[in-house]
């Protein structure tokens, strides 16, 4: 059993890379590779196998599983994907937790519907985004001729702490000046005559043929996952999707997501009011981790899902009505 490589390491111990995190779901499991920022789907039995072989001598494992076809496949898979390594040490330190208190931003992730109302009050809007310390910003415009408006919004945010900007607007000729804004990482161009994707200079342009009606729906899909050490760390301590995340509608109302019927404040209020009232109200549910929410508590995406479902009180704690069913691993 095992590759030549494993046969040559018989006297060593099997270790699992600490940057690869095993998460068991109800129907299937996953390995989050937080160094490569990728996810690998695996059967639940593979997790049990890893738990069994981790820290054991290679020769013991080879002896116990000798002639076991599935164990051989699992071992080859773990080796090929570089999830395990062999060492003369039987264990290595686990990933050390990072403090989430070091981040001084009031809000980190913001989606904004840039309406005429927000544009007319651009200075106040930009000042508040700056003072909130927003790092990732999505700007949505629905004007067929919005390049001038967009460039003015982008210039107003020049001195903010925003490090990553994504955009969505209707199909039109994109001004070359937009590409000068190096913080822009992706653009969704809707109502496009044809579907295509262009990846140029670290910026992805996705042309989609549909309109914007479904762009902000609260529905889980596989693009909504964040695999990184920071995301994992937040997910272990907070609700990753809602933590320091807001949606700002065309009237400036601050909400959790586009379908939220409540407003917790307005982005055009003075900053002290936003900080004292809106952020305080929003933060009340940041602590409700996915482990306390049904069915997220059995979902393999519970430490990487960024879909902003608002948990509601239920008999056993909290629940969300998700379009992904972790009991069957199917989408509704
Ligand atoms: S069940 Fe929960 S963790 Fe899983 S995809 Fe849905 S919202 Fe995300």
Residues 81, 111, single domain; the answer is no
pLDDT at 92: 76
Q: 316 in a domain, yes or no?
A: no
Q: 302 in a domain, yes or no?
A: no
Residues 270, 175, single domain; the answer is yes
Rg (CA), the chain: 23
Q: Please name which of 266, 267, 260, 269 lies closest in space to residue 241, comparing C-alpha atoms.
A: 260
Q: Hey, which of 30, 220, 320 would you mutate to test ligand 1's pocket, going by the most ligand atoms within 8 Å of its Cβ?
A: 220
Residues 74, 188, single domain; the answer is no
Residues 21, 47, single domain; the answer is yes
Query: Domain tally for the chain?
Result: 2
Residues 51, 155, single domain; the answer is no
| pTM beyond cutoff 0.75 | yes
Pick the last residue of a domain from 87, 111, 133.
87
CB-side neighbour CA atoms (13 Å) of 111: 18
Residues 48, 157, single domain; the answer is no
Residues 55, 169, single domain; the answer is no
Strand partners, 21: 32
Residues 76, 139, single domain; the answer is no
Range of the domain at 203: 100-215+245-285
Confirm or reject: Cβ of 318 under 6 Å from ligand 1.
no
pLDDT digits (tens, 9 = 90+) for 309-318: 999 999 989 9
Mean pLDDT of 186-207: 95
Residues 148, 70, single domain; the answer is no
Q: What is the whole-number distance in angstroms between the Cα of residue 42 and the centre of ligand 1?
A: 18
pLDDT at 104: 87
Q: 325 in a domain, yes or no?
A: no
pLDDT digits (tens, 9 = 90+) for 46-58: 999 999 999 999 8
Confirm or reject: Cβ of 326 under 6 Å from ligand 1.
yes
Q: 323 in a domain, yes or no?
A: no
Residues 122, 160, single domain; the answer is yes
pLDDT digits (tens, 9 = 90+) for 244-256: 999 999 999 999 9
CATH code for the domain in which residue 69 is found: 3.90.930.60
pLDDT digits (tens, 9 = 90+) for 135-155: 999 999 999 999 999 999 999
Residues 78, 113, single domain; the answer is no
């Amino acid at each position: 059993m095992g590759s030549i490589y494993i046969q040559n390491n018989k006297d060593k111990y099997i270790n699992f890379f600490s940057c690869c995190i095993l998460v068991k779901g109800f129907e299937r499991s996953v390995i989050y590779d937080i160094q490569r920022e990728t996810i690998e789907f695996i059967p639940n039995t593979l997790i049990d196998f890893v738990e069994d072989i981790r820290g054991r001598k290679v020769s013991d494992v080879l002896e116990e599983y000798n002639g076991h076809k599935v164990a051989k496949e699992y071992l080859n898979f773990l080796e090929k994907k570089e999830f395990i390594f062999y060492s003369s040490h039987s264990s290595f330190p686990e990933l050390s937790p990072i403090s989430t208190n070091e981040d001084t931003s009031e809000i980190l992730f913001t989606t904004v519907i840039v309406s005429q109302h927000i544009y007319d009050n651009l200075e106040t809007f930009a000042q508040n985004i700056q003072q909130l310390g927003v790092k990732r910003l999505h700007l949505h415009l629905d004007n067929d001729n919005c390049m001038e408006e967009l460039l003015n919004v982008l210039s107003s945010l020049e001195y903010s702490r925003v490090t990553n900007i994504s955009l969505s607007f209707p199909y039109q000729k994109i001004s070359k000046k937009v590409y000068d804004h190096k913080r822009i990482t992706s653009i969704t161009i809707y109502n496009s005559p044809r579907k295509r994707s262009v990846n140029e200079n670290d910026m992805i342009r996705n042309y989609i043929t549909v309109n914007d009606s479904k762009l902000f729906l609260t529905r889980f899909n596989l693009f909504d996952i964040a695999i990184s050490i920071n995301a994992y760390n937040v997910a272990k301590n907070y609700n990753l999707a809602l933590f320091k995340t807001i949606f700002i509608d065309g009237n400036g109302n601050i909400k959790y997501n586009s379908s939220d019927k409540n407003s917790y404040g307005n982005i055009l209020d003075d900053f002290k009011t936003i900080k004292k009232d809106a952020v305080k109200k929003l933060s009340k549910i940041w602590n409700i981790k996915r482990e306390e929410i049904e069915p997220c508590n059995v979902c393999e995406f519970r430490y990487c899902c960024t879909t902003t479902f608002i948990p509601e009180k239920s008999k056993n704690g909290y629940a969300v009505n998700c379009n992904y069913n972790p009991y069957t691993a199917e989408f509704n």
